[in-house]
Amino acid sequence: MRSKAFIFTITAMYFVMLFILFLGLFIFANQKQVYNHNISLISKTSIKYLTGTVSDTPPATNGWCITRIIYDANMQSQNQSTLQNKTYCENYGEQRII
Amino acid sequence: MENKGLFDLMFMLIMLLLLLPSATNHSLNVTSSTYSQVNELGILVDASIADALADETFENCVLAIQANYNAKCTDYRATLLTRFNALGNNCAITNFSPTLTGSTYSGTYNVSCQKTAADTNSYIEKQFTFSKTIFVNNGGTTCRVRIVDSYGGLDYNQVDYNLSYP
């Protein structure tokens, strides 16, 4: 027959262990960089996008977007050329753990 | 024992609740680094100068005076900066000092950007130089305007249009 103190200690340690486990998991999931590539805004796709061969990408549901201004000074107009916003989005893909 | 099970359940539920944000979708609008922002805005300002020179020249289809070019450049630059900062950037254009010598409009301007991300605060300021030559040809019913970027000896037509005039 174990003493009550022993059972209490083991139970307490069990909960502390559980807490640390979940805390670790929480930090891993929330604080870790979810996109494990080095985020370079000048990726191969974005270069194509900036040079105009790729048009606006669809909005990211699970990713990041960046908007740039396209200024064509040679627009055939006698007023200021249209400042066009062009948005590039990239999904995180399957990089997340959950 | 029943109480212990209940505590366990509550414990699990709270932890799952804490983990829930990581399982949901996240969409984020980012801004580029201050280094990229400065370069990007610097090039955009250069384009706005060429645009302003062309439009001011086209108004009377003759070479205008420097004050008119300066005013047009200031106007276009202000619109550009407002739109650029509306994207989440925090930049400024300062010390715009142009000179009109003959038909060459040249000078410098400074572009600075500041960004705070988490505990990192970055600020970069760069000076840009430009030199643009204005060509105008009144063809009677049309007006051809050409702005040639002549900085560094690499001449290229930044603006070239031939619109009906007047």
Q: For the sheet with B156-164, list strands across it.
A: B91-101, B104-117, B120-138, B142-149, B156-164
Chain B residues in contact with A71 by the CB 8 A cut-off are: 44, 47-48, 51, 80
Considering B47-56, B113-122, B151-160, the range whose residues carry the highest mean pLDDT is B47-56
Mean pLDDT, chain B, integer? 89
Give A89 to chain B, closest Cα distance, Å. 9
Chain A residues in contact with B38 by the CB 8 A cut-off are: none
Q: Are A31 and A25 in contact (CB under 8 A)?
A: no
Q: Show me where the domains of chain B are located.
A: 34-130
pLDDT tens digits along B58-90: 999 999 999 999 999 999 999 999 999 999 999
Report the Cα–Cα distance between both ends of chain B, in Å, rounded.
93
Say yes or no: A40 contacts chain B, CB-CB below 8 A. no
Cα Rg of chain A (Å, integer): 26
Say yes or no: A17 contacts chain B, CB-CB below 8 A. no
What is the structure's pLDDT at B10?
Answer: 83
pLDDT tens digits along A19-34: 888 888 887 776 665 5
Query: What ipTM was estimated for this complex?
Result: 0.76
* Helix, strand, coil in percent for chain A, rounding step 5: 35, 20, 45
What is the structure's pLDDT at A97?
Answer: 46
Vertex A53: Cα angle to A47 and A54 (nearest 5): 80
DSSP per residue, A21-48: HHHHHHHHHHTS-SS-S---SS-HHHHH
| A86 pLDDT tier (thresholds 50, 70, 90) | confident
Chain A residues in contact with B32 by the CB 8 A cut-off are: 41, 66
Give B67 to chain A, closest Cα distance, Å. 18
Mean pLDDT, chain A, integer? 75
Count H helices and E strands in chain B, helices first. 3, 6
